[in-house]
Structure 1
Amino acid sequence: MNKRFSTKGRIIFHVDMNSFYASVEMAYNPDLKGKPLAIAGDPEKRKGIIVTSSYEARAKGVRTTMPLWKARELCPNLVVLKPNFPRYREASKHIFQIMSSITPYVEPVSIDEGYMDVTECAHLGQPLDIAKHLQKRIKDELDLPCSIGIAPNKFLAKMASDMKKPMGITILRKREIPEKLWPLPIEDMYGVGEKTANKLKTLQIYTIGDLAKADVLHLKNLLGINGERLKNRANGIDPRPVDPDSVHEFKSIGNSQTFPYDTADETELKQMLHQLSEKVAERMKRKQVVCENIQIMIRYFDRKTITRSHKLHDFVENKEDIYRVAVDLFLSHWTGEAVRLLGVTAQHLVEKEEMSKQLDLFSYEHEAKKEKLYRAIDYLTEKYGKEIIQKPEAHDDDGYISTSFQKDFLDDFKHKE
């Protein structure tokens, strides 16, 4: 086994930026420091929605997803700004550059958090000293606060980073799990959403400790393989490596099919695209990934071949969404000539387990009107203390949640010297 993928004696950091958007704005304009600040959809309109807020604003009761009018009632002197995603992406790039200057084993998770494996960094000092140095450097160079969790694996490091904010550093050792982790409510466990928590409660599992001691067969019957995985993590077992290449592991998933005869029949061509989209969706489901780019290939009767792709507003995974994009691409670029082969490929794939999405400002307000999603966002905000959500399992055809977190910036810190 590759040394850096060893699961024994590892030292893992989880670096989590504090109130990231608001902190970046304060770093850009120091006059905002110490003031209650919120990033909101449309500061000029009362119906705007809070995207994130500073700790000063949170102290007044201002919360993510809160209507702007309510936030102003709670905090009349609230400073409200529109989000500046290019500014946040640039800050994120520099954060990961600093992290990678300590160790090459950096795994970005989202625009404002990532894992580091510092097992081989003993020459830089003790883990706590390395964390203090990293935290100080990010604060000194970028004027941005962060919290760092230190643990022997990714799950425990993630849990540790949430224990002290802002500007906290927390060490969580396996021997401390019964004392520090097990008493926490099951909803506080990373990887346990509202639906999973409700299911676990049917087994009388109310705390992380209850989960750690639960019967694995009952858990697998209830949650499948994820039940066993969650039990292992509740016991401090998480063999996942910090893998800098994980974001690139899944390049694409595609299927193509040659017709038994060349055809220009639009109905037949659409049927083939639907079949191909279904196959791609099935493979994506098995690999537990979503995609943000769809590509089609058209090979004509004379073997002339073209490929066309479309970058999506949101990550998709089901056959209907894939087919809709594929057929639109096809009808936009098909010459009307007979086709010999068609192909559909899902590109820019991301593992669902690791995907943490930032809300797109405009669709955010549209989606927040839906009570179920509103509650989910509020729940996750309270749980993680940051502006992340998971994509709902179903939503209106005209509704979507987009993201300012695109994978292209993950490479930036590696290539900029």
Structure 2
Amino acid sequence: MAKGRVIFHVDMNSFYASVEMAYRPDLKGKPVAIAGDPEKRKGIVVTSNYEARSYGVKTTMPLWQAYDHCPQLIALKPNFPRYREASKQIFSVLESITPYVQPISIDEGYVDVTDYKGDLTPLELAKWIQETLLSELDLPCSIGVAPNKFLAKMASDMQKPLGITVLRKREIEQKLWPLPIEEMYGVGRKTADKLKQIDIKTIGDLATKNVLTIKNLLGVNGERLHMRANGHDNREVDPEAIHDFKSIGNSQTLPFDTTDMNDIQPMIKQLSRRVAERMHAKQVVAENVQLMIRYSDHKTITRSRQLRDFVEHETQLEQVALDLFHAHWNEDPIRLLGVTAQHLTHKEEAGKQLDLFSYEEEAKKEPLYQAIEQIEDKYGKETFVKLNSQPEPPVRTSFQKDFLSQRRQQ
């Protein structure tokens, strides 16, 4: 592998909880969770350490339920300034080795060490990173070492916590292919369900299936997944990717200048649909929507809205565009309208978003949680078993988007 590309994927273990334990060593060895409002036993679990997970505490679990699993659980409110500072220090360590570092969230990133000129081998260098982050910052991580980004990402998940895994292309049949298809990076629950319908249950099944069959089922993304399952990924580690503000937009001139919402609203809906279709084809989501209005006198205005969460569907784009329209239209006749999705992120790098607003929304659902609890007390814990049977998703927060946005500005 030393003759080809050498890519690390550095993934911090239970990052928020680990940062809290680094600040408070008395928490080590105890079950710890980061949650919305521990004082009121409300909100959801954002992350937990491995001690808490051993009791069945899971990410996105309602806090009251986490206490049921682990009565001695220590729940803490998120401290975002603390996590931001820890992340900066982590990436400073990585950037001391090479400039080819690409953060993809607050607690993980890719490092291309192909041209590293030091005396250490790739494996020794990975061990140095892991030991340095642990000794200097008291933060554990797992590292995947591979010839490309996809394999490095998969490798970093194979040994947690504090694991270092080397995954070479010649080893994928042995190490990668036996894994369940749900464990493949880039395969969500819905995609996994579709693949299972054509008898694809493992990554190996996907790799050996006829590529046209996969493409017919999933489109361009299916072909991409098929290539990844076979160990192919030509994406570069791009430090400038964090500065990439791509957009997808459509505009159209109306048949005649109008002030009639019966003409305007269907046009916004149509434009939103076109943008959503192109986003779907490129497998991206957006965190900003822009509306353009051109009046009959050719005066043109553009207004945009930064969103709390990523959007991708026609109805989401349409709603934001309509809100912008009603807020900024001066009621003069309109000649042209445009809708643009901005600040795009590939779906692979945009996990489920949880932010402070999510905590507030979850708190509002507390009466529902209590009602569920009462029903389970009366009819048994299995009554709502399906509610708790979903696989634990990778969780990121909109705070991570803020972090990446700030790095763009540096």
Q: Work out whether the TM-score is over 0.5.
A: yes
2:324 corresponds to 1:329: yes
Q: Secondary structure at the match of 1:238?
A: coil
1:237 aligns with 232
Q: Assess, with a 3 A threshold, how the Cα gap between structure 1 residues 95 and 222 changes in structure 2: closer, same or farther.
A: same
2:337 corresponds to 1:342: yes
CA contact (8 A) 1:150 1:160 kept: yes
The normalised TM-score by structure 2 is 0.84
CA contact (8 A) 1:208 1:234 kept: yes
AA partner of residue 196 (structure 1): T
CA contact (8 A) 1:291 1:349 kept: yes
2:21 corresponds to 1:26: yes
Q: Assess, with a 3 A threshold, how the Cα gap between structure 1 residues 280 and 219 changes in structure 2: closer, same or farther.
A: closer
Q: Secondary structure at the match of 1:404?
A: helix
Q: Assess, with a 3 A threshold, how the Cα gap between structure 1 residues 119 and 349 changes in structure 2: closer, same or farther.
A: same
2:259 aligns with 264
1:254 aligns with 249
Q: 1:273 aligns with which of 251, 257, 268?
A: 268
AA partner of residue 350 (structure 2): M
CA contact (8 A) 2:44 2:60 kept: yes
CA contact (8 A) 1:93 1:410 kept: no
Tell me by how many angstroms 1:163 deviates.
Answer: 1.4
2:16 corresponds to 1:16: no
**Which one is further off, 150-159 or 128-137?**
128-137
2:303 corresponds to 1:312: no
2:404 corresponds to 1:410: yes
Q: Secondary structure at the match of 2:150?
A: helix
Q: 1:68 aligns with which of 45, 52, 63?
A: 63
Cα distance in structure 2, aligned partners of 1:367 and 1:349: 31
Q: Assess, with a 3 A threshold, how the Cα gap between structure 1 residues 157 and 374 changes in structure 2: closer, same or farther.
A: farther
2:157 aligns with 162
2:391 aligns with 379
Q: Assess, with a 3 A threshold, how the Cα gap between structure 1 residues 266 and 236 changes in structure 2: closer, same or farther.
A: closer
The normalised TM-score by structure 1 is 0.82
Tell me by how many angstroms 1:81 deviates.
Answer: 0.9
Q: 1:363-384, CA deviations, whole angstroms, 9 ceiling, x for partnerless residues?
A: 36379989899558x4134xxx
Q: Assess, with a 3 A threshold, how the Cα gap between structure 1 residues 148 and 281 changes in structure 2: closer, same or farther.
A: same
CA contact (8 A) 1:295 1:344 kept: yes
Cα distance in structure 1, aligned partners of 2:216 and 2:294: 46
Q: Count the aligned residue pairs.
A: 390
AA partner of residue 116 (structure 2): C
Cα distance in structure 2, aligned partners of 1:201 and 1:257: 41
Tell me by how many angstroms 1:174 deviates.
Answer: 1.9
Tell me by how many angstroms 1:278 deviates.
Answer: 2.8
Q: Secondary structure at the match of 1:242?
A: coil
Tell me by how many angstroms 1:414 deviates.
Answer: 6.7
CA contact (8 A) 1:212 1:231 kept: yes
Cα distance in structure 1, aligned partners of 2:13 and 2:35: 17
Q: Assess, with a 3 A threshold, how the Cα gap between structure 1 residues 410 and 298 changes in structure 2: closer, same or farther.
A: same
| Aligned-pair Cα RMSD in Å | 3.0
Cα distance in structure 1, aligned partners of 2:189 and 2:223: 18
Tell me by how many angstroms 1:248 deviates.
Answer: 4.2
2:349 aligns with 354
Q: Secondary structure at the match of 1:65?
A: coil
CA contact (8 A) 1:273 1:344 kept: yes
Cα distance in structure 2, aligned partners of 1:193 and 1:361: 24
Q: 1:112 aligns with which of 94, 99, 107?
A: 107
Cα distance in structure 2, aligned partners of 1:104 and 1:233: 26
2:207 corresponds to 1:212: yes
Tell me by how many angstroms 1:9 deviates.
Answer: 1.1
Q: Assess, with a 3 A threshold, how the Cα gap between structure 1 residues 40 and 373 changes in structure 2: closer, same or farther.
A: farther
AA partner of residue 288 (structure 1): Q
- Where does 1:164-183 land on structure 2 (aligned, <5 Å)? 164-183=159-178
Tell me by how many angstroms 1:129 deviates.
Answer: 1.9
Cα distance in structure 2, aligned partners of 1:367 and 1:405: 25
2:65 corresponds to 1:83: no
Q: Secondary structure at the match of 1:240?
A: coil
**Which one is further off, 192-201 or 305-314?**
192-201
Q: Assess, with a 3 A threshold, how the Cα gap between structure 1 residues 101 and 367 changes in structure 2: closer, same or farther.
A: farther
Cα distance in structure 2, aligned partners of 1:118 and 1:334: 52
2:188 aligns with 193
The unaligned stretches of length 5 or more in structure 2 are 370-383
1:292 aligns with 287
AA partner of residue 73 (structure 2): L
CA contact (8 A) 2:309 2:353 kept: no
